[in-house]
Amino acid sequence: MKKEYLELTRLIERLHRRFLDVLRAELNRMGIKDINAVQALLLANIGEEEIVIRDLVERGYYQGSNVSYNIKKLVEMGYLEQERSTHDRRSVRINLTEKAMTVVTSIRELEERNALALGEHGVSVEEIDSVCNMLRRLERTWTDYVHYGAR
- The CA distance from 36 to 20, in Å, is 9
Third-level CATH fold of 2-120: Arc Repressor Mutant, subunit A (1.10.10)
Q: The whole model's pTM is what?
A: 0.85
- The CA distance from 43 to 101, in Å, is 8
Is the pLDDT at 60 greater than 70? The verdict is no
Radius of gyration of the chain from Cα atoms?
A: 18
CA angle (107 as vertex; 104, 109 as ends), nearest 5:
110
- 3-51: pLDDT as tens digits: 999 999 999 999 999 999 999 999 999 999 999 999 999 999 898 888 8
Interhelix angle 98-120/2-30, rounded to 10 degrees, is 130
Residue spans of the domains in the chain: they are 2-120, 122-151
8 Å CB contact between 97 and 80: yes
8 Å CB contact between 67 and 42: yes
Q: How confident is the model at residue 64 (pLDDT cuts 50, 70, 90)?
A: low
- 95-113: pLDDT as tens digits: 999 999 999 999 999 999 9
